[in-house]
Amino acid sequence: MDNITVVTLITFLMVLMILCGVYVSVALGLMSVVGLWIITGQPSTAINLLATTFFSSLQSYEFGVIPLFVLMGAVFGNGLSEELFAAANVLVRKVRGGLAMATVMGNAVFAAITGSSMASAAAFSKISYPPMLKMGYDKRFALGSVAGSSILGMLIPPSILFIIYGILTQVSIGKLFIAGVIPGLLMTVIFCLGILLIGYWKPHLVGAHLKHHDEEADAQSFSTKMSILFKPWPVMLLIMVVIGGIYMGYFTPNEAAAVGAIGAIIIAVSKKQLDMPGFKKAVYEVGMTSGSIMLLLVCAQMYSRMVALSGLVQGLDQWLRASAWSGMGILWAFIGIILFLGCILDSASILLLVVPIAFPILTGMGFDPIWIGVVLVIAVEVGLVTPPFGMCVFTVAASVGKSITSTEVFAGVMPYVVMMLVCLCLVVEFPALSTWLVKFMN
């Protein structure tokens, strides 16, 4: 059995193990060791390579960014999401579909703090869904608005997926963060425009046909509205410092993460949103999340080494170059594979399996590695809300409770899937959307 057949079989078994409920890191690590054993013919080589990979990976400077950014999001809790939703609602309450737009806008800012789609989905399920239901929104559309907009957490920096991609490919994490800003804002605008169009096309979905009024909001004075609007300003300032510091060259991503974590703690304490039990809970969350991500990355690097030793990438690259496929055709083929895998695997697993194969082939064809990262992350994002695995959908369904089913959320999120694909096509067609800001970084 040749090496390429071995890697193909090992990858298939990995996916099968993950689908059967085996932890992704266990499946990646175990099957990579088995694959290396078969390829080299020496079990000791595979075991030694595993130990070397663990040691060299965990002492990597880039790994320090993970717990710090996770801590920045963990210390705020739901208090921040409530403030952001209220502030966004002041801006767009009078617009048709305003509550759904406020959910999108709140998620966009919340994403810049947490970097987690799951956290966004859980928080806004409890904060924005009840007001939308009260104002006569269609239940499925309201749930879809929460689930669909929650994926912004994986595109707007600091994104965990960008960190994973950067560590796997040795591409600058700071540049990836900056590259995600314009596509993230573009997707936010597309979502808001889509909601506006849906509001006029099918007004019953946004409660416009019932002519409900939020009497409490209508009775608010101008000063009260301004107070609500400017309440999240410390958080907005922190986001500007963190992202702006990376862009201007004042911070490395690790330093920006440290500044963000300290700033988040100071803001949360000053707002009385963080006490000692809450801090302990946040630290525990950081340990659990960071530990699982780091283990995933170490095992993924074992998989990358197995793929490299097998010669799969070189063989596939030669076959593709000899075929009639264009570079863009090959890129779209990888995007198609990711969209398919999004139906059966979680986002991190998809990146860990696809990037070691796709990245060297696409960069070898002259594509910008930063642009490739943004394109692949957007494609992976779609999987967070597509059946049957869509994690954001199940998070929303679990957060709301027994009154709804995941099937209803999947139905409501379909318009957002279409809008995500529109954004993906725009970023593929116009690479400058993700590379323009990076060119001006110091």
pLDDT of 110-142, one tens digit each? 877 776 777 778 778 878 888 888 878 888 888
Q: What 3 state SS string does 16-31 have?
A: HHHHCCCCHHHHHHHH
Average pLDDT over residues 379-392: 81
Instruction: Give ∠ CA 324-326-331 in degrees, rounded to 5.
Output: 130
pLDDT of 79 strictly over 70? no
With 0-12 / 13-18 / 19 or more C-beta atoms within 10 angstroms meaning exposed / middle / buried, residue 311 is middle
pLDDT digits (tens, 9 = 90+) for 201-233: 888 887 765 555 555 555 566 677 777 777 778
Going by pLDDT thresholds of 50, 70 and 90, the confidence category of residue 239 is: confident
Task: Identify which has the larger pLDDT, 403 or 251.
Answer: 251
Would you say 82 and 127 are in contact if contact means Cβ atoms under 8 Å apart?
A: yes
Alpha helices (H) along 180-275:
181-201, 215-218, 222-230, 233-248, 253-270
Tally the residues of the chain.
Answer: 442
Q: What 3 state SS string does 73-135 have?
A: HHCCCHHHHHHHHHHHHHHHCCCCCHHHHHHHHHHHHHHHHHCCHHHHHHHHHHHCHHHHHHC
With 0-12 / 13-18 / 19 or more C-beta atoms within 10 angstroms meaning exposed / middle / buried, residue 77 is middle
pLDDT of 388 strictly over 80? no
Average pLDDT over residues 375-382: 92
Going by pLDDT thresholds of 50, 70 and 90, the confidence category of residue 373 is: very high
pLDDT of 191 strictly over 90? yes
Average pLDDT over residues 360-377: 93
pLDDT of 295 strictly over 90? no
Distance CA 356, CA 371 (A): 16
Distance CA 115, CA 131 (A): 25
- 289, 271, 229, 272: which is closest to 84 by C-alpha? 229
The terminus-to-terminus CA distance of the chain in angstroms comes to 50
What is the residue type of 51? A
pLDDT digits (tens, 9 = 90+) for 339-364: 888 877 778 888 888 898 899 999 98
* pTM as predicted: 0.84
- 439, 437, 433: which is closest to 374 by C-alpha? 433
**What's residue 369's pLDDT?**
95
Task: Identify which has the larger pLDDT, 360 or 69.
Answer: 360
Average pLDDT over residues 327-333: 90
Would you say 153 and 119 are in contact if contact means Cβ atoms under 8 Å apart?
A: yes
DSSP state at residue 180: T
Task: Identify which has the larger pLDDT, 96 or 169.
Answer: 169
Task: Identify which has the larger pLDDT, 17 or 19.
Answer: 17
Q: How many helices (H) and strands (E) does the chain have?
A: 24, 0
Residue 101 contacts by C-beta under 8 Å, 6 or more apart in sequence? Answer: 88, 92, 95, 191, 192, 195, 196
**What's residue 1's pLDDT?**
64
**What's residue 97's pLDDT?**
83
What is the residue type of 2? D
* pLDDT > 90 fraction of the chain, expressed in percent and rounded: 18
**Cα 380 versus chain centre, distance:** 8
Residue 430 contacts by C-beta under 8 Å, 6 or more apart in sequence? Answer: none
**What's residue 187's pLDDT?**
94
Residue that is written with structure tokens 């019953």 in the block? 204
**What's residue 44's pLDDT?**
79
